[in-house]
Amino acid sequence: MLEKLLSIAASPLSFILLIGIVVTVHELGHYWAGRLFGAAIESFSVGFGGSLLEVRDRRGTRWRINWLPLGGFVKFAGEMQAPSDSRAVGTTDLTGCAFHELHPLKRLVISLGGPAANFIFAILALATLAMITGLPEAQAVRVAEVQAASPAEAAGFRKGDLILEAGGRAVSTGGDVIRATALSAGESVVYLVERGGERLTLTAVPETREERSEAFKVVEKIGRVGLSLEDVDLDVRRPGLLEAAAYGVSATGEAIGSTVTVLRRLVTGLDGIDRLSGPVGIFGIADNATDLHMKQTELSFLERLANVSLTLLQLAALFSIGVGFFNLLPIPVLDGGAAVMCLAEAATGREIPEAIQRIGLTIGLACLIGFAVVVTWNDVTRPGGPLEVLSGMLS
């Protein structure tokens, strides 16, 4: 009975843990950068709303855990984070100087501290996973089948071809080929293949297909060229510390590149906003991933928890990269917007007036709220989402 109750509670706890880790890492990046330059810090908050738990340290900083676990913030004394804020310092009990009194370049470092911490966390998490679970590596990636009337057939692929590179990157497994293709629907992808000892360059244009993951209960629109692949002599190799660290850096860089690709395709109209997910979508992914492992009754309860932990660590790394990148966008209210203002002040040698900052923060906040509403609506209404599940329960 206790095991069943723990299994039921695991899904929401997984979501809270996932959000909490990534947000805490982000805010600690701001916090420690602020401490480095002697900034007075009013509060460090995980979550929004009223406090569930609050303590004050000897520097006067309030450490808070709030009831709504969907974000967090660090409030520096004299910092304008919202249109209603002012540069007045709220209390004299704080150690350090007001945020606006710091040199613009120091404020720039503080603004970028959060995203930097997210990327560093992702590198460490992915390196740790590589050391625990190993890195899959095949002797070759072979084309097992070419679908008729597919982009791959039009490009000249043949059964038995060995794929060496996809999208300009060397491949170790078939998964590398799939990743190079998935985000490129409607765009040319170059493949380097070996056929009969000869190397050929083939170019295919992936087509958009809807595929449902039964494990995670989501439907995705992804690029496919119509290839079935097989890994020749697949092996799982456990890297040493330095190789794992290098893998963490490389994998984080690739994830950032994929995020840039998604943003570019959104801006150019190649993809829709449904490509993005917000808190509802993240909860669904965490929930389904947790259920997937907790239902493996052939394993012991501790083994299932271990598998859930590894999956959540991977999701936390990817989510951390997304949070870090999103916060770098040059929108007031986000870290990227604050960085732009710091650079403007450093270049002109003049402080941006509070009135101008309020206007920028108001516009940025409106954009952020609108974006959150659209993304949440997409999460709720997407195939396999809460609305479809609810409709199925009522029908």
Query: What is the distance between the alpha carbons of residues 46 and 58, in angstroms, rounded to a whole number?
Result: 19
> According to the model, what pLDDT value does residue 89 have?
65
> According to the model, what pLDDT value does residue 214 have?
60
Residue 177 has pLDDT above 60, yes or no: yes
Give the whole-number percent of the chain exceeding pLDDT 70. Answer: 91
Amino acid code (one letter) for 47: G
> According to the model, what pLDDT value does residue 295 have?
80
> According to the model, what pLDDT value does residue 280 have?
77
Which tokens go with 212? 């449902």
Residue 2 has pLDDT above 50, yes or no: no
Query: What is the distance between the alpha carbons of residues 227 and 209, in angstroms, rounded to a whole number?
Result: 13
**Placement of tokens 């490009």 in the chain:** 155
Residue with the larger pLDDT of the pair 256 and 47 = 256
Residues 6 or more apart in contact with residue 192 via CB below 8 angstroms: 163, 164, 165, 166, 199, 200, 201
User: How confident is residue 10, by pLDDT bands cut at 50, 70 and 90?
Assistant: low
> According to the model, what pLDDT value does residue 215 have?
58
Residue 71 has pLDDT above 90, yes or no: no
Residues 6 or more apart in contact with residue 145 via CB below 8 angstroms: 159, 227, 228
**Placement of tokens 């996973």 in the chain:** 129
Whether 113 contacts 106, CB under 8 Å: no
Query: What is the distance between the alpha carbons of residues 204 and 155, in angstroms, rounded to a whole number?
Result: 5
Region 40-53 average pLDDT:
89
Full-model pTM: 0.89
Region 50-70 average pLDDT:
89
Residue 4 has pLDDT above 70, yes or no: no
Residue 90 has pLDDT above 80, yes or no: no
CA 237 to chain centre: 26
Residue 216 has pLDDT above 80, yes or no: no
User: How confident is residue 11, by pLDDT bands cut at 50, 70 and 90?
Assistant: low
Identify any residues that bridge with 228 across adjacent strands, giving them in sequence order.
145
Whose CA is closest to 208, among 274, 264, 253?
274
> According to the model, what pLDDT value does residue 192 have?
96
Whether 183 contacts 166, CB under 8 Å: no
Query: What is the distance between the alpha carbons of residues 246 and 264, in angstroms, rounded to a whole number?
Result: 27
**Placement of tokens 């979550």 in the chain:** 47
Which tokens go with 214? 């039964």
> According to the model, what pLDDT value does residue 377 have?
84
User: How confident is residue 393, by pLDDT bands cut at 50, 70 and 90?
Assistant: very low
Whether 308 contacts 289, CB under 8 Å: yes
Which tokens go with 114? 């959060």
Residue 198 has pLDDT above 80, yes or no: yes
85: left (phi over 0), alpha (psi -120 to 50) or beta: beta
- The four Cα atoms 151, 153, 157, 158 give a dihedral, to 10 degrees, of 150
Identify any residues that bridge with 209 across adjacent strands, giving them in sequence order.
222
Residues 6 or more apart in contact with residue 392 via CB below 8 angstroms: none
Question: pLDDT of 236-290, one tens digit each?
Answer: 999 999 999 999 999 999 999 999 998 999 888 888 777 777 777 787 888 888 8
Which tokens go with 348? 């002109």
CA angle 103, 104, 105 (to 5 degrees): 90
Whether 18 contacts 315, CB under 8 Å: yes
Question: pLDDT of 325-371, one tens digit each?
Answer: 999 999 988 999 999 999 999 999 888 888 888 899 899 989 888 88
Question: Any idea which of 87-96, 115-124, 151-160, 304-313 has the lowest mean pLDDT?
Answer: 87-96
Question: pLDDT of 142-163, one tens digit each?
Answer: 999 999 999 999 999 999 999 9
> According to the model, what pLDDT value does residue 114 have?
96
Residue 6 has pLDDT above 80, yes or no: no
Which tokens go with 36? 């480095």
Question: Any idea which of 35-49, 166-180, 210-224 has the lowest mean pLDDT?
Answer: 210-224
Amino acid code (one letter) for 45: S
Whose CA is closest to 248, among 340, 132, 76, 128?
128
Region 316-321 average pLDDT:
95
**Placement of tokens 């409607």 in the chain:** 186
Stretch (H or E) spanning 2 = helix 2-36
Which tokens go with 196? 């009969």
Whether 39 contacts 97, CB under 8 Å: yes
> According to the model, what pLDDT value does residue 391 have?
52
- Max mean pLDDT among 86-100, 187-201, 369-383 falls in 187-201
- Please name each of the domains of the chain with its CATH number: 17-133+314-394 (no CATH), 136-237 (2.30.42.10)
Which residues carry out catalysis? 27
Using DSSP's 3-state secondary structure scheme, residue 46 falls into: strand
CA 54 to chain centre: 29
Please provide residue 141's backbone torsions phi and psi, each rounded to the nearest 5 degrees.
-115, 115
User: How confident is residue 383, by pLDDT bands cut at 50, 70 and 90?
Assistant: low
Residue 79 has pLDDT above 60, yes or no: yes
